[in-house]
Amino acid sequence: MQALVFRAEVGDRVVVEPGAKIIGVKIASGRYVPALTVVTTQEVADNLPLITDRYPYRNLNEGIIRVNIQLAEAIQPQAIGRSPFSSRPFPSASLAD
């Protein structure tokens, strides 16, 4: 979702909205980083809004985790032209053969 978290710690149940940048700070549990917000000081991080029952994306993390688990458990199709025993492509036939 085009967010960036770099050299930062993000607590439990934190929602990072699209386009947010979190750099070099600690985000406390139960907070959210609004879309397009840039957080580069601990003071800004400490004053981020709390997630309340009225926050529309309060369950976003659970939804993302559920979808990621479903994707991981799904049978993934093999790439065309690849051996099932190797990550290297099959050798191509030469026109001279």
Q: What is the pLDDT of residues 50-92, one digit of tens each?
A: 999 999 998 887 888 888 899 888 877 665 655 555 555 555 5
Contact 13, 51 (CB under 8 A): yes
CA neighbours within 13 Å on the CB side: how many for 76? 8
Share above pLDDT 70 across residues of the chain, in percent, rounded to a whole number: 77
Tokens of 69: 């688990």
- CATH assignment at residue 34: 2.160.10.10
Strand runs labelled E in 1-97: 4-6, 9-10, 15-16, 21-23, 26-27, 32-33, 38-39
Query: For residue 91, is it within any domain?
Result: no
Does residue 39 form part of some domain? yes
Q: To which H or E segment does residue 61 belong?
A: helix 60-73
- pLDDT confidence band for 15 (50 / 70 / 90): very high
Whether 51 maps to a domain, the answer reads yes
Overall domain count for the chain: 1
